[in-house]
């Protein structure tokens, strides 16, 4: 039963406030009138708490593992013919994640009051993306919500596995670069200046390469603040440029043509495109709506533009393969498989096969790239440190010979 907060006046003219349980506003006013209270203000405390809870929860995100587990649990309960309201309540009670627990409880209340499930999810865009909401809507309309939720859980898990593989592969090179920068900084700031003072005391002529190392060290020691400000400024400028309307398409175009990473970037984008489109179409989402959603998952403005143009052509009656081929941004194997899928009526199956193929290739290429980068990074770091050590040791040997 709703709880109402009230402010009012007694017959004696005294200000009072409090709460009252009632089925609706009229009943609440009648109760207070019988108690001799003239109502000045009356508000539904339950709705106010719901709104506050939605605001705090909606600003947070939820991890992929929690989302996947929740989705699978909800699918299992619905498949077991548990009513949606009860299923949402059970999932909310089982959730350890406080954000997801609150959101599911709010969705349960919304569905209990007559709202559709996908509409209650739409209030939390940071937790439930467009793909999730669209597929739930298609599942509700077709009466296959349990099947759709299982596919959503599998889709989330596949995407998370691919992202984790890429991140773990990139972690080692990043750590190596940071480690190399720290070693160089220590050598230029602490080691080289000490050796320089020894050479200065001996007043000996230094080889050009030794002098170059000493000059670089001098820049690090005397102008470290300028280097730091310059590095931060360049990084900030680059970020602003690549996020701008003019810079984003140029940067995304550059990413696709880089010598080694360009091919990998395109493969990852194609995998996301085909996997997501297959999932949406299998879930019953209309083609045009699916194309609107899928352009946002490729994370590349050049490819997104090609998908937008393909979507416009499809709306005019063209096939999918033709517009994608015209763009020149998708590999021939993708166009060929999509064309076969359209002709045989098995487009979703073909898209899924393409996604599986590209996921496999991405994992292999990432593993191969990592195995190549590891020795290359070690060799580069060893060469740089070796050059510095050699540049300092040659004068030291000469100094030792003169002293002997």
Tokens of 168: 């773990």
What are the distances in angstroms from CA 23 to CA 4, 85, 250, 283, 324? Answer: 10, 21, 60, 40, 58
Closest-CA residue to 272 (of 255, 289, 294, 304): 294
pTM for the model:
0.68
C-alpha to C-alpha distance for 349 and 282, rounded to whole angstroms: 9
For residue range 59-105, what is the model confidence (pLDDT) as tens digits? 567 788 888 889 989 999 998 989 998 999 888 888 888 888 889 98
What are the distances in angstroms from CA 67 to CA 133, 157, 301, 341? Answer: 13, 9, 28, 31
Other beta carbons within 10 Å of 363 = 15
Residue-wise DSSP of 139-162: HHHHT-HHHHHHHHHHHHHHHHHH
Residue-wise DSSP of 79-136: HTT--HHHHHHHHHHH--SHHHHHHHHHHHHHHHTT--HHHHHTT-TTTS-HHHHHHH
Residues in a beta bridge with 18 = 6
| Span 109-119, average pLDDT | 88
pLDDT at 54: 47
More confident residue, 403 or 337: 337
Pairing of strands 3-10, 15-21: antiparallel
For residue range 67-78, what is the model confidence (pLDDT) as tens digits? 888 998 999 999
| Span 12-26, average pLDDT | 77
Residues in a beta bridge with 216 = none
C-alpha to C-alpha distance for 347 and 134, rounded to whole angstroms: 19
Contact 95, 101 (CB under 8 A): yes
Non-local (6+) Cβ contacts of 373 within 8 A are 172, 173
C-alpha to C-alpha distance for 103 and 216, rounded to whole angstroms: 57
For residue range 289-335, what is the model confidence (pLDDT) as tens digits? 888 888 878 888 888 888 888 888 888 888 888 888 888 888 888 89
Average pLDDT for the chain? 83
Angle at 183 between CA 255 and CA 389, to 5 degrees: 115
pLDDT at 402: 67
Show the domains of the chain with their CATH numbers: 3-51 (3.10.20), 60-128 (1.20.81.30), 154-404 (1.20.81.30)
Contact 53, 106 (CB under 8 A): yes
């Amino acid at each position: 039963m709703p709880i109402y907060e009230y402010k009012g006046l007694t017959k004696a003219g005294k200000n009072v406030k409090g709460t009252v349980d009632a089925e609706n506003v009229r009943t609440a006013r009648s109760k207070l009138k019988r108690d001799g209270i003239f109502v000045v203000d009356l508000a539904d405390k339950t709705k106010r708490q719901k709104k506050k809870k939605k605001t705090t929860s909606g600003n947070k995100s939820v991890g992929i593992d929690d989302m996947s587990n929740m989705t699978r649990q909800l699918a299992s309960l619905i498949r077991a013919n548990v009513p949606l309201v009860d299923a949402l309540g059970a999932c909310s009670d089982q959730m350890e994640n406080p954000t997801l627990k609150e959101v599911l409880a709010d969705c349960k209340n919304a569905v209990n009051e007559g709202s559709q499930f996908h509409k209650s999810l739409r209030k939390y865009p940071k937790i439930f993306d467009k793909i999730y909401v669209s597929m739930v809507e298609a599942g509700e309309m077709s009466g296959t919500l349990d099947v759709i939720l299982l596919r959503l859980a599998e889709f989330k898990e596949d995407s998370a596995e691919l992202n984790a593989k890429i991140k773990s592969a990139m972690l080692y090179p990043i750590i190596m670069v940071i480690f190399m920068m720290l070693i160089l900084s220590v050598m230029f700031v602490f080691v080289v200046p000490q050796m320089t003072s020894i050479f200065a005391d001996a007043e000996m002529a230094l080889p050009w390469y030794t002098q170059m190392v000493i000059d670089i060290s001098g820049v690090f020691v005397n102008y470290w603040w300028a280097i730091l400000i310059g590095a931060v400024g360049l990084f900030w400028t680059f970020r602003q440029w690549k996020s701008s309307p003019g810079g984003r398409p140029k940067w995304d175009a550059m990413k696709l043509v880089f010598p080694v990473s360009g091919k990998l970037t395109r493969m990852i984008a194609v995998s996301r495109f085909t996997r997501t489109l297959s999932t949406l179409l299998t879930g019953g989402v209309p083609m045009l709506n699916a194309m609107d959603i899928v352009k946002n998952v490729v994370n590349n403005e050049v490819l997104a533009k090609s998908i937008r143009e393909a979507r416009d052509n499809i709306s005019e009656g063209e096939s999918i393969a033709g517009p994608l081929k015209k763009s020149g941004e998708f590999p021939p194997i993708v166009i060929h498989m999509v064309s076969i899928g359209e002709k045989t009526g098995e487009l979703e199956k073909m898209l899924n096969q393409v996604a599986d193929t590209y996921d496999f290739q991405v994992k292999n290429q990432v593993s191969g790239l990592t195995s190549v980068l590891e020795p290359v990074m070690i060799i580069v770091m060893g060469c740089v440190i070796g050059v510095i050590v050699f540049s300092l040791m040659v004068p030291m040997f000469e100094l030792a010979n003169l002293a002997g």
